């Protein structure tokens, strides 16, 4: 099958209409989930994905709006008598999951494999070759380059505009990049249109989708995409929950 990408959640930790928290579904040979914020299980159901097929999650970082439904996914698989869950994420993922799982003795019986990933690591999952790079955020965070036989997808996770993440996206068919606030906000740990557009200017990318929007971005979505596209000289759209992209 051709690579299919669905933005399950394009929002943040603050509730807002039409946006649940961070999650991206990649369907290649088998489904692969990037991040698992609150609302992910509902969005998976809306996307027609049975949790029986979804046993692998890759995390960019451990902020709550990126991991809130991770324990819920583990619990759903346990209640459905499904055998295991595989989680890859940055340093700290193993102790994080051990702590949250310890509150629920039934989940101690479930096999969960946790792999900690560092910048420059590479690994393969679900027919995808994945390369990790350091992102610029308030906690340890990773961006990922995901390659299939004929397509390249890059997901920034949460980050300030970063030359390292931009370099990771060179030659990508699709870059899904956070753009949390519109102009004229000046923030750290996150991206804004002007700064993001500038860092992408000389990068060869076929298409960019913006995600991880704060409520302050409501009503500015089209303007934000236009600014990134103008400065980065690349086609850009702002993502919404359940948007499907075929790179």
| Arithmetic mean of pLDDT over the chain | 96
Tokens coding 105: 């003795």
> What tens digit of pLDDT does each residue of 71-128 get?
999 999 999 999 899 999 999 999 999 999 999 998 988 899 999 999 999 999 999 9
pLDDT per residue as tens digits for the range 111-121:
999 999 999 99
Q: Which secondary structure element, helix H or strand E, spans residue 6, and what is its range?
A: strand 4-9
Q: Which residues pair with 134 in a beta bridge?
A: 142
What is the set of domains in the chain, with CATH numbers? 4-245 (3.60.15.10)
pLDDT of 1-56, one tens digit each?
Answer: 579 999 999 999 999 999 999 999 999 888 999 999 999 999 999 999 999 999 99
Residue carrying the six token digits 């995409």: 225
Continuous segment of H or E residues that includes residue 40: helix 40-46
4-9/23-27 β-pairing: antiparallel
pTM of the model: 0.97
pLDDT at 1: 56
Could you tell me the CA-to-CA distances from 164 to 95, 134, 142, 169, 185 in Å, in that order? 27, 7, 11, 9, 23
């Amino acid at each position: 099958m051709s690579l299919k990408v669905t933005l399950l959640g394009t929002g943040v930790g603050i509730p807002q209409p039409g946006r649940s928290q961070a999650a991206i579904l990649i369907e290649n040979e088998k489904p692969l989930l990037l991040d698992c914020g609150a609302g992910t299980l509902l969005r998976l159901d809306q996307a027609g994905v049975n949790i029986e097929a979804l046993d692998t999650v890759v995390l960019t970082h451990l902020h709550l709006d990126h991991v809130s439904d991770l324990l819920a996914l583990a619990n759903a698989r346990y209640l459905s008598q499904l055998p295991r869950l595989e989680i890859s994420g940055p340093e700290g993922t193993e102790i994080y999951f051990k702590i949250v799982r310890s509150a629920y003795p039934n989940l101690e019986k479930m096999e969960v494999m946790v792999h900690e990933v560092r910048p420059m690591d590479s690994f393969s999952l679900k027919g995808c070759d994945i390369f990790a790079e350091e992102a610029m955020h308030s906690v340890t965070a990773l961006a990922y380059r995901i390659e299939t036989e004929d397509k390249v997808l890059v997901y920034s996770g949460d980050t300030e505009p970063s030359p390292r993440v931009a370099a990771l996206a060179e030659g990508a068919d699709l870059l899904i990049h956070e753009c949390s606030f519109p102009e004229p906000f000046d923030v750290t740990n996150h991206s804004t249109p002007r700064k993001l557009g500038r860092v992408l200017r000389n990068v060869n990318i076929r298409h960019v989708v913006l995600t991880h929007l704060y409520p302050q971005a409501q009503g500015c979505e089209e303007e934000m995409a236009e600014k990134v596209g103008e400065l980065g000289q690349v086609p850009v759209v702002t993502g919404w929950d359940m948007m499907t992209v075929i790179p």
